[in-house]
Amino acid sequence: MLHNLSPFLKFMPQALVLVLMLGTPASAYTLFRSPGLAPPGKTTLSQWLDSLTPTESPLDMHVMEPLPGTLVPADAASPVIRWRDDAAKLWLVTMTAGSRTVCQGLVDKDAWAPGEELWAAIHQAAGNHAVTVRLAGVAPDGRLVSRGRTSFAVSPDPAGAKIGFLRKRLPFRTAQKNPHDSQVVVGDPASFGRPRVVVEDQPVCFNCHAYSLNGKTYGMDMDYKGDKGAYVLVDVKERTVLTDDDVISWNDYKAPGPAKYSMGLFTCLSPDGRFAASTVGESSAFIMLDDLYFSQMFYPATGQIAVHDRQTGTVAPLPGADDVNLVQTNPSFSPDGSTLAFARAEVRPELVRAIHDGVLRRESPAQSILEANGKYPFRFSLYAVDFNGGKGGRAVPIAGASDNGLSNFFPKYSPDGKWLVFTQCKTGLVLQPDSKLVIVPARGGEPRVLAANTPLMNSWHSWSPNSRWLAFAAKGNSPYTEVYLTHIDENGQSSPALRLFRFSHPELAAMVPEFVPVNSVDQHSMELADPEGAVGKSMATDGR
């Protein structure tokens, strides 16, 4: 029986041809091999596998993913199995669920993912059992000279939604010069194919994006007709042609100085889509770097939170988050819209002077992000303020996420209102090598670093609509940022990171993943009505 793998073969050249071994129902399992492999002589695949000989002291190989204990959403496509082994160029892969062998085969690449039909069999066999993956390196003479092992389980919780994210070139300087290469992409964790590009080849620079919790409103930071404070704010439809009427400007807020204009950083939308909240009046500490991994140091050194009301068309500062002696940024609404969490720090006048005197612009791009951090350290604490329909209130620190000697930023409430996950590092804001995701109860409490953090830069996180999964961006596998998933249980514990490898691109960084609300039009596309007239003059920082 030959499985139909055509969708997967188109996506992944090293995909495997699968052959079902006949036998009794209790003992039957699937055999597979790489397309270029053929059994020696006149032997069958089954005979070939039976002829492989164990050795007494096999070498240990490094299994990179999935890490033991990784959870896969109930509705997700298969994970990739990936390892590093210098002892062999051919590998035996065996998967078991409980005491039952599910599949076994030979591969000639050090990465493999089950095709759609085999994954359905694995999924069904797994049930409540963890799936154990055993790897063995095969020498030319048939001896098994190395070994590795890992495991994963299929969670009963589905991801339940698609994920929208951005793709851009690296380093930042290259992205700035090539805005046509930027993309808005929507990917389905359940799909075995490539994610869908919904916006591309536009002559404007666009960055951070957001959905309202009810799925009816979409916003995106976009340089438009020379206005660096322009922001697209539209009702979600299958096809949207952007006109001037769909673009608001954060420069409707009169910046109190020393900033001369507003870029409107890190905008978020209220759950019902009526309000947009953003950082305005920013003086940004920005150093462009040549490093592919970390190509900018960036954070606002001044800034207030302002709110745009779609009903009235007005922009006004939010009391409690509008102190000119403080930096207020990264706003995030609670799921009921009653509270706004944000990052806050004291303004440092000497740093602001250095920014406006051009000292930071003259910094060498050849230095590392760690060198830049050492010269311009900056730390944020998280605060919360009652929103009151835009009337604000008194800001209070969030316990476990403030005044801890670290920089805390990007707060995101879970849709069920139970948890708050934020990013934490030694200094700075976006794009920090040591940034990790941390969870606290929504009203504050004991912080816990998520087990899902990869070794390098974890940030830009988004909750699934069912509050069971967190999508985030990380550089743990590549300088080109990739999208990962982790499961969050009822106690706030996270599983090891699951890389959504089908979302990755060899030359573009994936960033700012946002779950598409389930009642939204997830296949929406956008284009400019007047692309030539809309060309922006420069790109806003986006924290790659």
| Calpha distance 244→213 (Å, rounded) | 25
By CB atoms closer than 10 A (0-12, 13-18, 19+), residue 90 is middle
Question: What percentage of the chain reaches a pLDDT higher than 90?
Answer: 74
pLDDT at residue 176 in the model: 80
At residue 281, does pLDDT exceed 90? Answer: yes
Q: What is the pLDDT of residue 488?
A: 98
402 or 257: which carries more pLDDT confidence? 402
Amino acid at 139: A
Domain match, 149 and 167 both: no
Instruction: Please indicate, yes or no, whether residues 141 and 185 belong to a single structural domain of this protein.
Output: no
Do 523 and 186 touch, CB atoms closer than 8 A?
Answer: yes
What is the pLDDT at residue 220?
86
DSSP secondary structure letters along 403-456: SSSSEEEEEEE-TTSSEEEEEEESS-SSS-TT-EEEEEETT----EE-TT--SS
Q: What is the pLDDT of residue 311?
A: 95
Task: Based on the fold, state whether residues 213 and 142 are members of the same structural domain.
Answer: no
Confidence (pLDDT) at 529: 56
Alpha helices in 369-411 (DSSP H): 369-375
What integer best gives the mean pLDDT of the chain?
Answer: 89
What pLDDT does residue 444 have? 97
Asked if residue 225 and residue 120 are part of one domain, the reply reads no
416 and 317 fall within a common domain: yes
Out of 154, 179, 211, a domain closes at 154
Residue 534 lies in a domain: no
- Hey, is 51 helix, strand or coil? helix
Q: Quick one: 121 and 215 in the same domain?
A: no
User: 308 Cβ partners below 8 Å, 6+ apart?
Assistant: 231, 233, 248, 250, 252, 275, 276, 277, 278, 314, 315
CATH number at residue 190: 2.120.10.30
Tell me, what's the pLDDT at 221? 86
Query: How large is the average pLDDT for residues 166-170?
Result: 92
Alpha-helical runs (H) found in 93-139: 116-126
Residue 333 lies in a domain: yes
Cis preceding-peptide flag for 66 (omega within 30 of 0): yes
3-class SS of residue 28:
coil
Task: Kindly indicate the confidence band of residue 3, based on its pLDDT and cuts at 50, 70 and 90.
Answer: very low
More confident of the two residues 113 and 13: 113
Q: What are phi and psi of 58, to 5 degrees?
A: -65, 150
The Cα–Cα gap between 114 and 107 comes to 11
Which band of pLDDT confidence, cut at 50, 70 and 90, is reported for residue 41?
Answer: confident
pLDDT in tens, 489-515: 999 999 999 999 999 999 999 999 999
Above 50 in pLDDT, residue 10? no
Residue 540, in any domain of the structure: no
Residues 270 and 403 in one domain: yes
pLDDT at 536: 38
Total domains in the chain come to 2
Characterise 167 by phi-psi region: left (phi > 0), alpha (psi -120 to 50), beta (else).
beta
- 393-422 pLDDT, tens digit per residue, is 999 999 999 999 999 999 999 999 999 999
pLDDT digits (tens, 9 = 90+) for 440-485: 999 999 999 999 999 999 999 999 999 999 999 999 999 999 999 9
Residue 528 has pLDDT above 60, yes or no: no
Domain span at residue 65 reads 6-154
CA dist 351 → 297, 324, 347, 355 (Å): 14, 15, 8, 6
Burial label, 297 (beta-carbon count in 10 A; 0-12, 13-18, 19+): buried
Backbone angles phi, psi at 543, to 5 degrees: 75, 35
- pLDDT at residue 9 greater than cutoff 90: no
Residue 316 confidence (pLDDT) above 60: yes
For 141, other C-beta atoms within 10 Å of its C-beta total 7
Asked if the model's pLDDT at residue 543 lies above 60, the reply is no
Classify residue 352: in a domain, yes or no.
yes
- Tell me, yes or no, whether 535 lies in a domain: no
287 lies in the same domain as 402: yes
CATH number at residue 148: 2.60.40.10
Radius of gyration of the chain (CA): 25
Q: What is the mean predicted confidence (pLDDT) over 309-326?
A: 96
Q: What is the pLDDT of residue 108?
A: 96
Largest CA distance in the chain: 82
Band (pLDDT 50/70/90 cuts) for residue 184 is: confident
DSSP 8-state assignment for residue 224: B
Tell me which residue of 340, 334, 208 sits closest to 271, measured CA to CA: 334
pLDDT at 200 (0 to 100): 80
Average pLDDT over residues 334-359: 97
pLDDT at position 525 is 56
pTM of the full predicted structure? 0.90
d(CA 516, CA 454): 24
pLDDT surpassing 50 at residue 6: no
Which residues sit opposite 528 in a β-bridge?
242
Co-location of 143 and 228 in the same domain? no
Instruction: Tell me the average pLDDT across 418-447.
Output: 97
Q: Could you tell me if 271 and 392 lie in one domain?
A: yes
Examine the domain organization and report whether 302 and 325 are in the same domain.
yes
Let me know if residue 1 belongs to a domain. Answer: no
Is 543 among the domain residues? no
- The residue out of 111, 137, 154 marking a domain boundary is 154
Residue 179 and residue 64 share a domain: no
Q: Which of 10-14, 296-300, 360-364 has the lowest mean pLDDT?
A: 10-14
